[in-house]
């Protein structure tokens, strides 16, 4: 009887076991452009966005692809190395197999927004935090009002004299909530290794209303005008001017990696734990998306030691 859960074209045996998960984090080091093709508005090359929320994200397929490349998972290497073949799959007419590691899309967690105080702030929202279902957060504060922002007791992004914070062209009344302290600590420890950067994050982390966060996700991205030079005339080629959208530096995103079936390994020597420990353990530097030759798409990728931590 055919197993309906088995991917089409998969060759070999699989072993089912306890589902193993990890949370992965992406910290943007240079502007990140994962394109959605040709745009219809004033942005010629927009970034990919979720249909329902219009929030930016990074496709899980992109993350899995660059991690596979990081480990040298070429087609020839996959045929020689069974561990890589099992982890990332193998193409072929008769011996193809699906990769055992599954990567969810990386959803937006914190968006850096220009601030009158403190240069910039890492803004998040209650909905963005609630979507981190694999993360063991303490109680998430009730949503602030449209004209409010929840900040840490000690911060650099608000005026204690006027109880105000100014992000781009929006001014918000500051409010404190003790629950934010624990959330900030969990996020900073997940993303930053250095104590100095954890302190910088805690001084600039804030929570805004979901609708305000959506506004910033739509209007707070980086849009640059690009040109192409005519080789002979050494001026801008005719029609070669376009606007290109990117996620700004310091954006933080998060997704989930899991493995509950090990495909194509009849020996029983490869387990989900071994796959996770080999390919999803140490912090690594990756290049995701387009425009690599212009320095775009550099990210730090971190993995939690255990799912939800």
The reported pLDDT for the residue numbered 228 is 79
The ranges assigned to domains in the chain are: 16-33+60-104+255-309
Pairing relation of β-strands 120-124 and 106-114? Answer: antiparallel
Strands (E), 29-134: 57-58, 102-103, 106-114, 120-124
Beta bridge partners of 97: 90
The Cα 198–Cα 213 span in angstroms is 22
The Cα 139–Cα 142 span in angstroms is 9
Structure tokens belonging to residue 23: 């949370």
Q: Is the dihedral of CA 249, 254, 258, 263 positive or negative?
A: negative
Give tens-digit pLDDT for 258-297: 987 786 655 667 888 899 999 998 899 999 998 888 899 9
Give tens-digit pLDDT for 40-74: 667 888 999 999 999 999 999 999 999 999 999 88
If phi over 0 gives left and psi between -120 and 50 gives alpha, with beta otherwise, what is residue 268? left
Give tens-digit pLDDT for 142-180: 899 999 999 999 999 999 888 999 999 999 999 999 999
The answer to whether the beta carbons of residues 115 and 151 sit under 8 Å apart is no
The answer to whether the beta carbons of residues 205 and 181 sit under 8 Å apart is no
Task: Break the chain down into helix, strand, coil percent, rounded to 5.
Answer: 25, 35, 45
The reported pLDDT for the residue numbered 79 is 82
Structure tokens belonging to residue 147: 């004209």
């Amino acid at each position: 009887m055919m197993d309906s859960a088995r991917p089409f074209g998969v060759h070999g045996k699989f072993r089912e076991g306890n589902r193993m998960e990890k949370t992965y984090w992406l910290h943007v080091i240079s502007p990140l452009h994962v394109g959605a093709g040709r745009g219809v508005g004033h942005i010629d090359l927009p970034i990919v966005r979720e249909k329902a929320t219009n929030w930016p994200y990074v496709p899980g397929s992109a993350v899995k692809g660059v991690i596979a490349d990081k480990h040298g998972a070429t087609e020839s290497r996959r045929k020689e190395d069974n561990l890589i073949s099992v982890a990332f799959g193998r193409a072929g007419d008769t011996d193809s197999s699906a990769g055992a590691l599954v990567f969810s899309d990386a959803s937006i967690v914190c968006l850096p927004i220009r601030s009158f105080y403190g240069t910039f702030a890492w803004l998040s929202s209650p909905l963005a935090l609630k979507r981190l279902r694999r993360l063991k957060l303490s109680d998430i504060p009730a949503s602030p009002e449209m004209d409010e922002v929840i900040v840490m007791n000690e911060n650099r992004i608000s005026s204690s004299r006027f109880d105000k914070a100014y992000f781009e062209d929006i001014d918000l009344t500051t409010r404190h909530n003790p629950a934010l302290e624990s959330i900030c600590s969990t996020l900073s420890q997940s993303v930053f290794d250095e104590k100095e950067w954890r302190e910088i994050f805690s001084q600039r982390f804030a929570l805004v209303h979901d609708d305000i966060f959506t506004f910033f996700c739509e209007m707070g991205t980086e849009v640059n005008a690009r040109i192409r030079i005519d080789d002979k005339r050494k001026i801008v080629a005719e029609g070669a001017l376009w606007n290109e959208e990117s996620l700004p530096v310091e954006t933080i995103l998060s997704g989930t990696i899991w493995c509950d079936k090990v495909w194509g390994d009849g020996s029983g020597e490869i387990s989900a734990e071994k796959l996770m420990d080999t390919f999803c353990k140490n912090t690594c530097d990756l290049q995701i998306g387009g425009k690599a030759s212009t320095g775009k798409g550099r990210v730090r990728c971190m993995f939690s030691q255990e799912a939800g931590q």
